[in-house]
Structure 1
Amino acid sequence: MIHPQDQDGDELLAQLHRIGCDVEVCWPTLDSLPFGTGLVLMALRPETRSVNFPWLGTSMSPPVIPVVTYENPITVEAVLRLNALAVIPSPVRSFGLMTAIAVALTQCQALRMRDRYIERLEKKQASVRVIQQAT
């Protein structure tokens, strides 16, 4: 969890513990992910909007769920840049957190399966081209 220690952070941490999540908290940046990180919840604030996270955007990046305080074009752009699969509004409430986590994890798994399928198809197509050129 990339979130400052404030009321939202405390509520989010308490809810995550209630549903049985192991949580590591840091703020404002996280240069590398701890081994086995399956999900990142991130406060979308000016401190994090401008940071380029090196672990973000790889095929094995965990899903990111931003916690947003308000909507405006800059916030929406930041959410899209994170490739967010769900969003949690601030102030954080217990309702919706488990759903956001389930949706993000399920969609991430589906995207990874689709990427593996596309990769297999591309390899198969490359093999077909090689065979066609040989004949």
Structure 2
Amino acid sequence: MQAELRQSTVLLVHPRDSEGDAVAREVRRVGCRVEMAWPAPTLPPIGFDFALVAIDAEVLAAAPWLSGAPPVPVVAVVDGDKGVPVDVLRLSNAQAVLVKPCQPAAILSNLALARNVFSYERRLLNKVAKLEETLHASRQIEQAKLILMTQKKLRANEAYDYLRRQAMTKQMSVAAISAALVDAYGLME
């Protein structure tokens, strides 16, 4: 894991000043490849393993991808003396926080933490999407059953059996048959 982290490609979004150079130097010192960007890019980083970002309200406004779902793990880089308001950190969706001046051990620890949190968040988002899809399909099945119960004067279990038979005949899912029926019925009204 550490060897993999050491070979990571990092986008460092930080002003090109002595502090930014110091952070870049420390990240290189642990073995990562670093590319600096300033001002903050408006488009999400492509081709990087991590984004280390000097977070403040102006950066959040300039880089909307930070407050959305960034494509890479984000580590907020904050000044140890000044800090950053908690609401700005929360809005950044950063998975870890690195305090300047940076130590090599802290860099690797925060990269590992950011990657783990990022992976966990992605798994949760995928589960939520699947649950929403299942809920939507269940609602359409219920709507299709109601249509059949009204139009064909069937009971609920008979309507579902009808949908199931149609799905098997057409080699489709009950959800797909239900969606087609609901869509067709919606067009007819």
Q: Please classify the TM superposition score into its range, dividing by the shorter chain length.
A: 0.7 to 0.9
Check if 1:13 corresponds to 2:24: yes
**1:36 to 2:47 alignment:** yes
CA distance in 1, matches of 2:104, 2:18: 13
Q: 1:123-134 to 2 correspondence within 5 Å?
A: 123-134=133-144
More strand by share: 2
How far apart are 1:46 and its partner, in Å?
Answer: 7.0
| Normalised TM-score (structure 2) | 0.60
How far is the alpha carbon of 1:60 from its aligned partner?
A: 4.5
The counterpart of 1:54, out of the listed 64, 75, 89, is: 64
- Classify 1:33/1:59 alpha carbon distance in 2 versus 1 (closer, same or farther; 3 Å): closer
Alpha-carbon distance in structure 2 between the residues aligned to 1:52 and 1:127: 39
CA positional deviation for 1:71:
5.0
Match of 1:122 among 132, 141, 150: 132
Residue range with higher mean Cα deviation, 115-124 or 36-45: 36-45
Please state how far the C-alpha of 1:113 moved relative to its aligned partner: 0.8
Contact 2:56 2:88 in 1 (8 A): no
Secondary structure in 2 aligned to 1:89? strand
Q: Normalising by the residue count of structure 1, what TM-score does the alignment of the two structures yield?
A: 0.81
Q: Which has the higher contact order (CA 8 A, sep 6+)?
A: 1
How many residue pairs were aligned? 133
CA distance in 2, matches of 1:13, 1:30: 17
- More helix as a share of residues: 2
RMSD (Å) for aligned C-alpha atoms: 2.3
Q: 1:17 & 1:88 partners in 2: Cα distance? A: 15
* Runs of 4+ residues deviating >6 angstroms: none
- Of the three residues 85, 94, 98, the one matched with 1:88 is 98
Worse-matched range after superposition: 104-113 or 22-31? 22-31
Structure 2 vs 1, CA of residues 34 and 42 (structure 1 numbering), >3 Å: closer, same or farther? closer
Q: What residue number does 2:111 align with?
A: 101
Q: What residue ranges of structure 2 are gaps of 5+ in the alignment? A: 1-11, 146-189
Which of structures 1 and 2 has the bigger CA Rg?
A: 2
- For structure 1, the 5+ residue unaligned runs are none
Contact 1:11 1:93 in 2 (8 A): no
Distance in structure 2 (CA, Å) of the matches to 1:85 and 1:77 = 14
User: Alpha carbons of 1:124 and 1:63: their partners in 2 closer, same or farther (altered >3 Å)?
Assistant: same
Q: Which has the higher mean CA deviation after the structures are superposed, 85-94 or 38-47?
A: 38-47
Report the identity percentage: 29
AA partner of residue 2 (structure 1): V
Residue equivalent to 2:33: 22
